[in-house]
Structures are given as structure tokens and as C-alpha cells.
């Protein structure tokens, strides 16, 4: 059971396989692991103490940042995520990033963005497309058509509490015209835009 795994010079945290989405391009549909990580399918969700103990296997000088991203939506375990993030920042002085679908407010039925303050340095949100209908078709999330606007609101709100907020789309999944519209959405929200490469 892989809880922590090194990737791209960072250390990634895999705490859950739960996710309210079933994205058409999701990497977990293509296999059990990423770049030799070992299986990211969890037999069970590790406790916070088990996650903390895993850090002993990875000397702090062997990775740059800590990234919450695995085979599930990290904010499904938001309080545990933030506890581990605070632990890692205090003990190792690492910057913390969360890769998310941006639907946490829908998941919890309230605005959770203030909870990130002081514990998370960067958030990367999957924008995927500029169109609400296509967004639902791509993500196949359980919240329906209103999820797109909720995700945008999350991005606009969380930037008040997290220094760096980036929204992303996946190269080759949308047109250049759609990428331009995504860029404009991000400009209007006051967040960064990045086109990430498609990984098989």
C-alpha cells in the first residue's frame, strides 16, 4: 500500500481513493501506479499517524515540496490532510501543494476555504474546460451541472487564504479556443492558468 511516493522531485501523499468525480482522462483508469510508485490503490485509508510515520522513509533533502495527490480527491479527507500538512511544514519546513477538483465546498456543504490558511502554500485546481456542460461530461461528478460554478467560486475564495492558486487543463483534451477561454476565466478570477501535459 503506497502512501507516500516521490515524483517530479517532490513527495506525493496518497491518503484516499475516494473521489466525487470519474474523469474520462483520469490516470487511475490506466493502471495501478505512476512511474514505479507502487500500487496507489489503498487496501484501506491510512490513519494520520501512519501517514506521519511514512515520512521516516524519505529524508527531507531528497524532495522539494509536499504534494497531496494520489488515486483519489485529497480533500475527501480534508481535516486529516491539513493535519499532515501542518506536521510536515513544522517538522521539515516544506512547502505544501494540494491538487484538487475544487469541489470541496460541495462535498462538505459549506465554505471550507478558510481552513487552508497557514497550512497550504499552493493549490492546483482542475478546470478542464470553459464550458459547464462539457465540464460535467468530462468529470462525470456526482453534483451535477452546478458543480462548474461551485468550482470557480472555490478558486476565487481560496486565493484569499492560499498564496498560489493555479487552474489547469489537460493538453489535447480541449481546443486552443477553449484554452483561451480558460485563460480568460482565470484572469477574471485572479488566479494562474497552466496547461498540463497528458500522461498515459
Q: Which pLDDT value is given to residue 197?
A: 81
Q: What is the pTM of this model?
A: 0.94
Domain ranges of the chain: 4-196
- All three cell numbers of 15, joined, read 491518503
Q: Which pLDDT value is given to residue 198?
A: 67
- Mind listing the pLDDT tens digit for each residue in 90-112? 999 999 999 999 999 999 999 99
Q: Which pLDDT value is given to residue 194?
A: 97
Q: Which pLDDT value is given to residue 144?
A: 97
Q: Which pLDDT value is given to residue 25?
A: 79
Please, how many CA atoms are within 13 Å of residue 40, restricted to the half-sphere of its CB? 28
Q: Which pLDDT value is given to residue 200?
A: 38
The answer for residues whose C-beta is within 8 angstroms of residue 167's C-beta and 6 or more apart is 102, 124, 125, 126, 127, 155, 182, 185, 186, 189, 191, 192, 193, 194
Low-confidence ranges of the chain (pLDDT < 70): 29-31, 33, 198-200
User: Domain 4-196 belongs to what architecture?
Assistant: Alpha-Beta Barrel (3.20)
Amino acid at each position: 500500500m503506497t502512501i507516500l511516493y516521490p515524483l517530479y522531485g517532490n513527495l506525493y501523499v496518497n491518503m484516499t481513493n475516494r473521489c466525487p468525480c470519474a474523469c474520462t482522462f483520469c490516470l487511475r483508469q490506466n493502471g495501478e501506479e505512476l512511474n514505479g510508485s507502487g500500487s496507489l490503490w489503498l487496501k484501506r485509508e491510512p490513519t494520520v499517524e501512519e501517514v506521519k510515520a511514512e515520512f521516516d522513509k524519505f529524508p527531507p533533502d531528497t524532495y522539494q515540496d509536499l504534494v497531496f495527490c494520489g488515486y483519489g480527491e485529497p480533500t475527501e479527507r480534508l481535516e486529516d490532510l491539513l493535519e499532515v500538512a501542518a506536521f510536515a511544514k513544522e517538522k521539515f519546513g516544506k512547502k505544501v501543494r494540494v491538487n484538487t477538483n475544487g469541489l470541496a465546498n460541495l462535498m462538505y456543504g459549506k465554505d471550507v476555504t478558510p481552513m487552508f490558511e497557514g497550512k497550504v502554500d499552493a493549490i492546483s485546481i482542475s478546470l478542464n474546460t470553459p464550458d459547464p456542460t462539457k465540464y460535467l461530461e468530462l468529470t462525470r461528478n456526482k453534483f451535477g451541472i452546478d458543480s462548474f460554478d461551485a468550482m470557480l467560486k472555490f478558486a476565487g475564495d481560496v486565493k484569499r487564504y492560499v498564496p498560489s492558486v493555479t487552474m489547469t487543463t489537460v493538453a489535447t483534451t480541449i481546443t486552443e479556443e477553449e484554452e483561451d477561454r480558460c485563460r480568460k476565466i482565470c484572469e477574471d478570477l485572479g488566479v494562474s492558468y497552466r496547461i498540463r501535459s497528458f500522461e498515459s
